[in-house]
Amino acid sequence: MTATAGGVAANPLRKGLAANRIADPCNVIFFGATGDLMKRMLLPAMWNLRLEDMLPSNYGIVGFSRSDDDDEKFREEMRKAVDEFSRSGPAKEPLWSDFAKHLSYVSGTFDDTNCFHKLRAQLEKNDKELGTGGNRLFYLSTPPSLFAPIVDQLDKGGLGPRDNQTGWTRIIVEKPFGTDLDSARALQAEVSKVFDEKQIYRIDHYLGKEPVQDIMALRFANVIFEPLWNRRYVDSVQITAAETVGVEQRGGYYDNAGALRDMIQNHVMNLLALVAMEPPVAADADSIRDEKFKVLRAIRPIDRARVTLESARGQYDAGSIAGKPVPGYREEPNVRPDSNTETFAAVKLLIDNWRWAGVPFYLRSGKRLAHKTSEIAITFRSIPHRLFGDAGDALDNNVLVMKIQPEEGISLRFNAKVPGPKMHIRAVSMDFNYGTGFGVVSAPAYERLIGDAMRGDATLFTRWDAVETAWQIVMPILDKWQNTIDESFSNYSAGGQGPPSSDRLLAMDGREWRKI
Ligand code: BG6
């Protein structure tokens, strides 16, 4: 929960912060409005934006879905969702009743233009009754196969930007944007028939996480890190996005996706881009996204013949998480009993530019690992000459860790003298934690991102050129993995560190993964 006014005043680090810019009046229209993401994340995000006074005074929230609901039923469902999932606890009166007046529902199928005419009528009604000024933010939170058909229907139903003479029209597209390079290009071709790039907001919720945004602040609001941020001082970089959850109820989707598509191509690649990009010329959306694109372009393509040497895949077997037994991936609902889908992926990438030549970036992500941890660890080179310490004193390399979740902070590992008459050296850590430091708990990523899209700030959304390049990078691995059965599956136990092949990937370079 964000700090109360008292908390802000009490914390000197938050004094004098400018108020947030409020968005224009607008309607936010959610496709897939009765789905899981809507209930768990999207509607609670809208509610909390309201609680934080971050919504414009004139707003409408319209749900569109196949279910045969009406406004009242939708409002009830959304209230239940807030009661169950909102970070601010159950809905409070009288605020909820006022918020509920801004909620409406259109029931319709995605292939029937008449339903989009109905939606248009609802939006025009909101413009008159709620003063939403003709501004529209569409949010595609449906299965990806519906993205292109919905965009087409928006156009046919007179809801595209070209038909909107009174206000702006934007669209947020959930991930995955395509399932491979060709399908991503095909989707882009369809979406861009109706929307310009500046109106398309491809969401990657990782970019809305506070510590991810802080990567840029750490690098470009300080003088001490950037001089070291290059091949002369950095030995290697590890980016980890480890989860303890399995595929839960999403076996049907996941079994056709796998860890490389689900996490590496988007979330992890975005982290890499932020950590490795050059300083942008300005802090605006395009200057930052230009640099992210440039660094992705500099990643050395993986030779198909070297996929096995430069990547590792795994699939979890039964095991235990936090002391509780959990089933193997192939026993999960809606997963094929002989599935060849990876639930763990690790990749070694090299960036061919002046800053990073020769520095390996090791990326990994997996489900059912020992702990939930997302972090970026920069390991610096070893000292050029050893002066102190007995032979028995290990002189560890310095490591800077940007902790993304569940801990949010920065930790610097360095060597220090052990107090006493002898010159013994031990590695110690200097830790900063956002929560205790600033006295706030970060808002969930979706709040930040929906708020940004309403304000027209695309900085934290992925531009098409980056999406396309990220697909190009993973395609050789994807092709190989799809076309060869991994006979070692299942090859790691739930609750472990991933498959042995992942350890070998680093061992070949004389390195080790950080423990998850
Ligand atoms: C989603 C993936 O994009 O990110 C999920 O589809 C994954 O499979 C999730 O569990 C992880 O997000 P977070 O915020 O929990 O790290």
Q: What pLDDT digit, counting tens, does each position of 428-460 carry? A: 999 999 888 887 777 889 999 999 999 999 999
Is 267 catalytic? The answer is yes
| ∠ Cα 132 134 139 (to 5°) | 85
pLDDT band with cut points at 50, 70 and 90 for residue 20: low
Task: Report the C-alpha gap between 453 and 29 in whole angstroms.
Answer: 12
Task: Report the C-alpha gap between 138 and 33 in whole angstroms.
Answer: 11
Which pLDDT score is estimated for 16?
61
Is the per-residue pLDDT at 7 higher than 90?
Answer: no
Ligand 1 atom at shortest distance from the alpha carbon of 374: 16
Share of the chain above pLDDT 70, in %: 95
Share of the chain above pLDDT 90, in %: 87
Distance 195 CA to ligand 1 centre (A): 27
Domain spans of the chain? 23-174, 207-381+464-507
Distance 343 CA to ligand 1 centre (A): 12
Ligand 1 atom 6 nearest Cα: 262
Ligand 1: which residues within 6 Å by Cβ? 175, 205, 243, 262, 374
Give all strands (DSSP E) within 10-66, no chain letters: 26-31, 59-65
Residue 173: beta bridge partners? Answer: 140, 202
Ligand 1 atom 13 nearest Cα: 206
- The reply to whether domains 23-174 and 207-381+464-507 share a CATH topology is no
Which pLDDT score is estimated for 454?
96
Distance 319 CA to ligand 1 centre (A): 21
> Could you tell me the CA-to-CA distances from 117 to 101, 108, 143, 508 in Å, in that order?
22, 10, 22, 60
Q: Which of 139, 98, 161 is nearest to 449 (CA)?
A: 139
Which pLDDT score is estimated for 392?
67
Identify the active-site residue in 102, 117, 205, 267. Answer: 267
CA atoms within 13 A on the CB side of 355: 16
Ligand 1 atom 8 nearest Cα: 262
Distance 160 CA to ligand 1 centre (A): 30
- Given this structure, which CATH class describes domain 23-174? alpha beta
Which CATH number is associated with domain 207-381+464-507? 3.30.360.10
Q: Tens digits of per-residue pLDDT, 314-350?
A: 999 999 999 999 999 999 999 999 999 999 999 999 9
Which pLDDT score is estimated for 1?
38
Distance 233 CA to ligand 1 centre (A): 32
Task: Report the C-alpha gap between 450 and 220 in whole angstroms.
Answer: 25
Ligand 1 atom at shortest distance from the alpha carbon of 206: 14
Residue of 42, 177, 204, 205 best suited for mutating to test ligand 1, as the one with most atoms within 8 Å of CB: 205
Q: Which residues are CB-neighbours of 16 under 8 A, at least 6 positions away?
A: none
